Chain A
Amino acid sequence: MKLKEIAAALAGTPAVEGQEAEITRFYAGDFLSRVMGRAPEGCGWLTVMNNVNVAGVAVLAGIRAIILCEGIQPVRELSERCRQEGIGLITTPLDVYAASVGLYRAGGEA
């Protein structure tokens, strides 16, 4: 799925475009070490964590897009960092569970 398709599946808004890339796998979680231990490379990451370290972790772990759930608006440092690093950032009003269901229905791998 492209970033725009992900946003559409989640009634979300792409806050930062990121690089044009195909994302088929996803990971959900908030503890940064768990994400780095488990998230597959090139995935989209569903979280409610909202600080600049989220972008840092995405860079280091090769995560392509951050999906910030529950209507949380990214702090400026986070969106700026995503922009600099070419990481996509989507905001969605859905919670992590509903967003996961939405992505699954739209063709994401379980």
Chain B
Amino acid sequence: MIHLRYEVDGSDFVSCGKASEDVKRTLKNIGIPSEIIRKIAIAMYEGEVNMVIHANGGLAEVEILPDRITIVLTDTGKGIPDIPKAMEEGFSTATEAIRELGFGAGMGLPNMKNYSDDLKVESRVGEGTKVTMSFIL
């Protein structure tokens, strides 16, 4: 089993995605098929970006087992008041400044759902959000 852990810096949204890129490299090195790596890399990037643009950063943990990969993203940000609403395609609370960078299409959570085999979002307003994604190998 491999366990990876990253502190995601919430102050730098001009160049975020370092954790996802590192995970992508690691999965390539251990020989995971490229179609699966692509799904994991995209889903994790969306989650990583969300922690940066909506929650001031957080923690990303990746557990690699022979038959599955689990990614847990935890933050102590503002939380999500209405999770079903947040899951809707196109729903976004991103600011104009963030949208100008190309983020904030409201497609992050839908992409995470589509690309993972299982997505769980737990959140408490004012306390934070925990996103768990699993991928079957």
Report if A and B associate in a common complex: yes
| Docked CA distance A62–B104 (Å) | 21
B20 CB-CB contact with A under 8 Å: yes
By a CB distance below 8 angstroms, the chain A residues around B46 are 33, 36
Main secondary structure of the interface of B (DSSP, over half): helix
Pick the contact of A34 from B34, B35, B105 — CB < 8 Å?
Answer: B105
By a CB distance below 8 angstroms, the chain B residues around A60 are 17, 20-21, 24, 38, 41-42, 45
By a CB distance below 8 angstroms, the chain B residues around A41 are 35, 38
By a CB distance below 8 angstroms, the chain A residues around B106 are 33
- Report which residue of A32, A33, A59, A60 has the largest number of chain B beta carbons within 10 angstroms of its beta carbon: A33
Q: Are A56 and B38 in contact (CB under 8 A)?
A: no
Given A31-B105, A37-B107, decide whether A53 and B16 contact each other with a Cβ distance below 8 A: yes
CB-nearest residue of chain B to A77: B15
Task: Select the stretch in B1-9, B63-71, B108-116, B127-135 that faces chain A.
Answer: B108-116
- Per the 8 Å Cβ criterion, residues 14-49 of B in contact with A are 14-17, 20-21, 24, 34-35, 38, 41-42, 45-46, 49
A106 CB-CB contact with B under 8 Å: no
Pick the contact of B101 from A53, A59, A77 — CB < 8 Å?
Answer: A53
A19 CB-CB contact with B under 8 Å: no
- Per the 8 Å Cβ criterion, residues 95-128 of B in contact with A are 101-108, 110-111, 114
Q: Are A33 and B103 in contact (CB under 8 A)?
A: yes
Main secondary structure of the interface of A (DSSP, over half): helix
Q: Are B45 and A34 in contact (CB under 8 A)?
A: no
A43 CB-CB contact with B under 8 Å: no
Q: Are A56 and B34 in contact (CB under 8 A)?
A: no
- Per the 8 Å Cβ criterion, residues 41-91 of B in contact with A are 41-42, 45-46, 49
Given A31-B105, A51-B101, A60-B24, decide whether A36 and B15 contact each other with a Cβ distance below 8 A: no
Q: Are B42 and A36 in contact (CB under 8 A)?
A: yes
A30 CB-CB contact with B under 8 Å: yes
What 3 A-B pairs are tightest by C-beta distance, nearest first?
A31-B105, A33-B107, A32-B102
